[in-house]
Amino acid sequence: MALSKVDLANQVENQLPQGLVANNLPYRNIIINGDMSIAQRGTSTASVASNGYFSCDRWRYAENSDAVVTISQDTDVPSGQGFANSFKIDITTADASLGASDNIILQQKFEGQMLQYLKKGTANAVSLTVSFWVKSTKTGIYIVQLYDRDNNRTIAKSYTIDVADTWENKTITYAGDTTGTLDNNNEASLELYFWLMAGSDNTSGTLATSWESNVTANRAVGQVNLADSTSNNFWITGVQLEAGTTASDFEFLPVDVNLQRCLRYLPSIQVKTYTTGGICLAADDGRIHFQLPVRARTAPTGISYDGTILFMRSNGALTGTGIAFATATEDVINIVDVGAASLVAGNATGLGTDSSNTRTILCTGCEL
Amino acid sequence: MENSNWKLLPRKTGQTTDVVYRIYNGKTESMSVEAKEYKEWLEKGNTPLPADGE
């Protein structure tokens, strides 16, 4: 039987009877790791005062302020909703006096090639709906912005934290944008921003509640300052961004599928003593390559690991001071020794770890 | 020993791009000098330590 192409957006917007929720369309959630269950970088990072990816996969913390935070994968979740984890931001150094350019944003970026079915930039552009569970010590107005990086366009809407330190479910719908097509490639095209702090540069205009050319002053009008006290915490989970004007039930993916989706942006390789398959090119030149677990978004440009990983001599003894990135493609990565000696050219080699612990090599440079 | 500064590694046979290395915040990290993160670090006025033997 021939397979036919599924028009996900039309199924959501046009084919379902009004008022019904399309709760069984697979992969309808544009967000990856919306349930915060995958945290390959670790469950907690303290003293965060710069941009980057910390804790839960795919979620980028961006800040320009004096605030310092601890970011963690937390177990505080809305009761009875099926979630096991949330993303937590704990303000450890406050910034109560906002500078004009100050801001804190939690964001996720999406490849344009993943979003062609949104038909953005055409007369058939579909609406998008974001839904999430949120809890914050700081009540008041918060902004959620969609940013089209390819065309420098923005739409932003607000929600309100009504009760301090209480889980609340929020839904926001954005109209489709008939201007500006998304590039059909593996680069960041669309980005979702959860604003947590915004100085006057981002708040002095009129909130861009309809798609418009990006104006900085219109991006976060009304946003409260989460970082005005070290008593403040912010949790979020169950984030879903989907085509259509209605929020469906959160799409829980099997853990292995969720991990596979994250690995495209942060490939990881587990090693243990006697992980073999390498070759010695010289006494001080060991090489080993690994097939990446899924095709990465782009070729890794580095590696990172905790603990000790060293090359092995043919007698099983470890040598050198570490391992390092050499080269990579989207499918394989080559790793070299650092400081190894007494390897024998032509012999097989492998990797060993401290106390035979299982260690994980994170392949960096693939995130958006 | 931990050092936030990146250090160039000696090139291995066949390597055409330099790689930098550091142990920082308990993690051992290395990356190509073509990596976006490394380029941003250079743009802040930083310079890597030379490779051993250079």
Confidence of residue A14 (pLDDT cuts 50, 70, 90): very low
Contact A36, A73 (CB under 8 A): yes
pTM value is: 0.92
Supply the pLDDT for residue B14: 85
- Chain B contact for A62 (CB, 8 A cutoff): no
- Between A277 and A21, the more confident residue is A277
ipTM of the complex: 0.94
A198-215: average pLDDT: 98
Express each pLDDT in A74-105 by its tens digit: 999 999 999 999 999 999 999 999 999 999 99
For residue B30, the distance in angstroms to the closest alpha carbon of chain A comes to 5
Tell me: the pLDDT tens digits for A164-174?
999 999 999 99
Percent of chain A with pLDDT over 90: 90
Indicate the pLDDT class of residue A17, thresholds 50, 70 and 90.
very low
**3-state DSSP of chain A:** CCCCCCCHHHHHHHHCCCCCCCCCCCCCCCCCCCCCCCCCCCCEEEEECCCEECCCCCCEEEEECCCEEEEEEECCCCCCCCCCCEEEEEEEECCCCCCCCCEEEEEEEEEHHHCHHHCCCCCCCCCEEEEEEEEECCCEEEEEEEEECCCCEEEEEEEEECCCCCCEEEEEEECCCCCCCCCCCCCEEEEEEEEEEECHHHCCCCCCCCCEECCHHHCCCCCCCHHHCCCCEEEEEEEEEEECCCCCCCCCCCHHHHHHHHHCCCCEEEECCCEEEEEEEECCEEEEEEECCCCCCCCCCEEEEECCEEEECCCCCEECCEEEEEEECCCEEEEEEECCCCCCCCCEEEEEEHHHCCEEEEEECCCC
Interface test with B, best of A325, A333, A354 (most B CBs within 10 A): A325
Q: Given this model, what pLDDT does residue A276 score?
A: 84
In chain A, what residues touch B37 (CB-CB under 8 Å)? 301-302, 364-365
Nearest CA in chain B to A335: B30
Q: State the pLDDT confidence band at A263, using cuts at 50, 70 and 90.
A: very high
- Of residues A274 and A293, more confidence is placed in A293
pLDDT at A13 over 90: no
pLDDT recorded at residue A23: 56
Q: What is the pLDDT of residues A40-55, one digit of tens each?
A: 999 999 999 999 999 9
Nearest to A285 among B12, B21, B34 (CB): B12
B54 to chain A, minimum CA–CA distance in Å? 15
pLDDT tens, A232-252?
999 999 999 999 999 999 999
Q: What pLDDT, in 10s, does the model give residues B1-47?
A: 566 799 999 998 888 899 999 999 889 999 999 999 999 999 999 99
Q: What is the mean pLDDT of residues A283-302?
A: 97
Question: What does the pLDDT read at residue B1?
Answer: 53
Q: Give residue-wise pLDDT tens across range A134-179.
A: 999 999 999 999 999 999 999 999 999 999 999 999 999 999 999 9
How many angstroms away from the CA of B49 is the closest CA of chain A? 15
